[in-house]
Every structure is written in C-alpha cells, then in structure tokens.
Amino acid sequence: MSIHHIFVINPTSGKGSDKQPLIDAIEARKGTYNADYYITTCPFDATRYVREYCEQHPEEEVYFYACGGDGTLNEVASGVVGHPHAAVAVYPCGSGNDYLKYYGTKEDFLDLDRLMEGTAVDVDIMQVGDRYALNACHFGFDSYVAAKIHEYRHTKKNPYMSAVLYTLVHGMRNHAKVVCDGETYLDGEYLICTICNGAYVGGGYKVAPYSNNHDGLLEVTKIKTTSRINFLSKMGLYKTGEYLDNPKFKNLAFHRTAKEVHITVPEGFGVSLDGEMIYQTEIDVKNIEKGIRFVVPKGLEIK
C-alpha cells in the first residue's frame, strides 16, 4: 500500500501568507505520489483534522506534513498521537522550526522530494496535562521571551529583540518548584528551566545538547538566577550548547534526566509548549517513549 502524503497548511504562518507555491508543488507531484493538502481555518484545527482523519482511515499509512512553524508541528503531532499507522513530518515555512534542527537544517526539510522519500522513525513525545509537546516545555526567561514575541509580532519591527530587551528587565528572577521522578530538582528562584526531547529552542539555542529524542527520558536543565551582565557575557556558550560542560557555568547550570516532571509556577505565569503558551499553576509532564513517528528526509542521519 502506498503512503498517503497529506500537507496540513497553516495559511498565516511565516512572514508571508502566500502558500500558493507550495500548493503548486504538491499538485505537480500528484502523478508520482498519493498527495493531498488541507488548509487550516483556525487554531487547533490541524489537531482536529488529523485526529479525525486517522480515526476514519485506520488502515491507511499516512504521513501528515506540518506546513508552518513549531506551533503547527505541535498541532499535527498532537493529532497523530495514538495512531501508529500515521507519522508526522514538517515542511518548515513558519517561524522557529526548532525541532527539525535535531536532524538537519531547514533547507534539508524544504527539499520536497527528499522529504517525501524520507523515513518515519519512532520518537518520544511529552504529554503535558491534556496537551502534548514534541520538542520542549520551557519556562522562566525563555517563556517571557516567547510570550512577548506573540504580543509584539504585529506591532514591533524586530519582535524577538524587543521581547529579549523586555525580559532582561522583567524576567531575570523567576520562581517555581520542579519535581523530577519524585525528587525535588528546583524549589525557589531561577533564571531558566527547560524540559526537552529535542535539542533546540528559541530559534536555534541548543539548550539540550545531550538530547536523545527516542530514549524515553526527558532532558531537564536549569540555570540559576544571575546578573544581567553575567548572563549576557555567557550567552554565546548557552546558544551553542557548550554551557553544560564549560567551567564558566559551574554552580550556575545543572542537568538531569527524568521520565516524569511536575511543575508548580505562580498564578498567571506562562509556560511554553513548543512555543505556544499555557497558563496553569500545576503542570504534569510525562514522557511517552516512542509515542509517535517522525519523518526524516532522505539522506539525513537518523540519530
């Protein structure tokens, strides 16, 4: 049975909303592949569509291509959970696109023929309350930035830098309790905390350099509160993922693995799930080992 390739297109993702070239490329390949597309109409429509399609076609092997950014990928992956005959892929035409960096570059995943000839591999996915996260759940400085990017994206010329500048003033001292597999990992003040299956967040920061996205374990890292000058002077090491092994971060950055994590944060504090914000004071994160399949483009190393 041939694979059914369905492209789930977020029409508002990315800097431009014109997805016609992608639609034309899909149409041009219909003679070679069993290919279709669906254009989403509102938030969470991708999850609804994918889940309903999987339920209505339980015998069909189908690859769903998330055409957008990390939020679109999150929605498509959430719909695939529980349906082993389906796999999730990503055609990165949105902002961020951090999860794919575990395997390769954005250009690798924009090569439509290599992508459609790719291999579906088993990967872990996090269950976060009644939602899911494929790449990361993070909070503190990072989630302040993520929330402000959403707020500024239509009003600021450079929403990312505006968000960072805001957070350097307001997001340096955060409070939370984090319990990993029943052991208290954090209780009090901190700067950043991340829970990852992927390796990157924030558009290219390698915050989880030890990540293995199919070992059943979450990578949990924390950075203690420090001065703005000290943090900014070390940002380069944080971005490249060298920070966990660098003596400059001794007694500042910490790492462990876990299967389950419980988070307690203050009322109104945002936690980022694959770039999408949730606002809950108590959050349970449980890793589902090899819970879905992810399509890696032809020619890339399967890690």
pLDDT value, residue 17:
64
Tens of pLDDT, residue by residue over 150-165, are: 788 778 877 777 888 8
CATH C-level class of 136-289: mainly beta
Say if residue 190's pLDDT is above 90.
Answer: yes
Mean pLDDT, all residues of the chain: 93
Tell the CATH topology of 4-95: Rossmann fold (3.40.50)
Percent of the chain at pLDDT > 70 equals 98
pLDDT value, residue 35:
97
Asked, colleague to colleague, whether 4-95 and 136-289 share their fold, the answer is no
pLDDT value, residue 15:
61
Confidence category of residue 16, pLDDT binned at 50, 70, 90: low
Closest by Cα among 75, 89, 77, 68 to 13: 68
pLDDT value, residue 12:
83
SS3 label, residue 297: coil
Confidence category of residue 266, pLDDT binned at 50, 70, 90: very high
Confidence category of residue 148, pLDDT binned at 50, 70, 90: confident
Domain limits, the chain: 4-95, 136-289
pLDDT value, residue 161:
78
CB 296 within 8 A of CB 109: no
CA angle, corner 212, sides to 46 and 112, nearest 5?
Answer: 45
Question: In whole angstroms, what is the distance from residue 4 CA to residue 274 CA?
Answer: 26
- For the entire predicted model, the pTM comes to 0.92
Tens of pLDDT, residue by residue over 77-127, are: 999 999 999 999 999 998 779 999 999 999 999 999 999 999 999 999 999
